[in-house]
Amino acid sequence: MKLTGPSANRYFAKPDPNRMGLLIFGADAMRVALKRQEVIAALIGPEGEGEMRLSRLAASELRKDPAALGDAIKAQGFFPGQRVAFLEDATDALAPAVKAAVADWRVGDAAMVVTAGSLTARSALRKLFEDHPNAYAIGIYDDPPTREEIADTLKKAGLLQIDHEAMTDISALARDLDPGDFRQMIEKIALYKHGDSTPLSPADVVACAPSTVEAEVDDVLNIVAEGRTGELGPMMRRLEGQGVLPVTLAIQSLRHFRALHAAASAPGGASEGIARMRPPIFGPRRDRMLKQAQGWGMIRLEEALKLLVETDLSLRSTSRAPAMAVIERALIRLAMMARR
């Protein structure tokens, strides 16, 4: 039988131990692996692998010995409890061997968990599980996690008290991060909040989220966008001492001001524009960029972008002008524009 959507997610969390088997397939190996780990842990418990109630088979082993899967589901261990025979990276070429094991399965044998990559609707392996009355086939696709899945991940990590804005930030990150990276981030947040009874805040999310921009460069861009000209010189000297290239500053400046322009020109206002950005902008940085976009306005941001594009072209030309001086001059002009 085929399972999809919420029914599939519920089954992963609480599988039926009396089912003969489960096929999990999908193009994203990480997503498939995470779901496989979840369902096997739910079937055999945290001590199952240590008690040798999990038999692992690689596809190459089954190719060499077509009876290996059948032997694994019949094998008896020293410890009582549910057993699982796990076949990894199966393909349609192994469908006959899997079919023989399915035909030989009886109540009391180990449950089969089979993982595979992308399988078409005509796949022999997929049809075997979809057509079987006592087995399931579940496709894992690159869809972002649902709110229910995010809430379940947070609950498992022990994060129960979450500020509304922090939940919005976590949902945005869930859409843009790989599943493995997202799970690691949640585990990091759980450790960060260990022993802290206050609700999870946007600042906590920012502290644990993967960083995408160097903090020092980000500081310079905020100084420029907020018109704090007096702070620009010392910060530029610090960046120069750290070896940040002028072209890097130009690229990051263009990216920042394009984001501000996209926010300022959104039909529903700057708040709507910020919310639509990918990768997402969250926490205090979102509030800061929103204020910058509203302060500059669309027309002045277009002038700023024109200046930055000209500066970028100048840096990439054969001009002999000192590159750091060129970008610093442009940033000073932008900071002066912000004060008008």
| C-alpha–C-alpha distance, residues 336 and 340, integer Å | 7
The owner of tokens 């919420």 is 6
Q: 119: which 2 tokens?
A: 């399988």
| C-alpha–C-alpha distance, residues 300 and 291, integer Å | 14
User: Which residue positions in the chain have pLDDT lower than 70?
Assistant: 211-216, 282-283
Paired with 138 in beta bridges are 3, 24
Closest by CA to 109, choosing from 67, 62, 75, is 75
The CA-atom distances, in angstroms, between 125 and each of 59, 86, 102 are 13, 15, 11
Helix (H, G, I), strand (E, B) or coil at 113: strand
Q: What pLDDT, on the 0 to 100 scale, is given for residue 212?
A: 44
Residue-range domains of the chain with CATH: 2-139 (3.40.50.300), 147-208 (no CATH), 215-338 (1.20.272.10)
Helix (H, G, I), strand (E, B) or coil at 198: coil
Contact status, residue 330 vs residue 308, Cβ threshold 8 Å: yes
Q: What pLDDT, on the 0 to 100 scale, is given for residue 211?
A: 56
Please count the CA atoms within 13 angstroms of the CA of 35 that sit on its side-chain side: 29
The CA-atom distances, in angstroms, between 164 and each of 82, 193, 202, 279, 327 are 40, 17, 9, 20, 40
Q: What tens digit of pLDDT does each residue of 244-260 get?
A: 888 888 888 998 999 99
Q: What pLDDT, on the 0 to 100 scale, is given for residue 60?
A: 92
Q: Name the CA dihedral angle for 149, 154, 157, 162, rounded to a multiple of 10 degrees.
A: -170
pTM: 0.57
Paired with 22 in beta bridges are 113, 136
Contact status, residue 119 vs residue 126, Cβ threshold 8 Å: yes
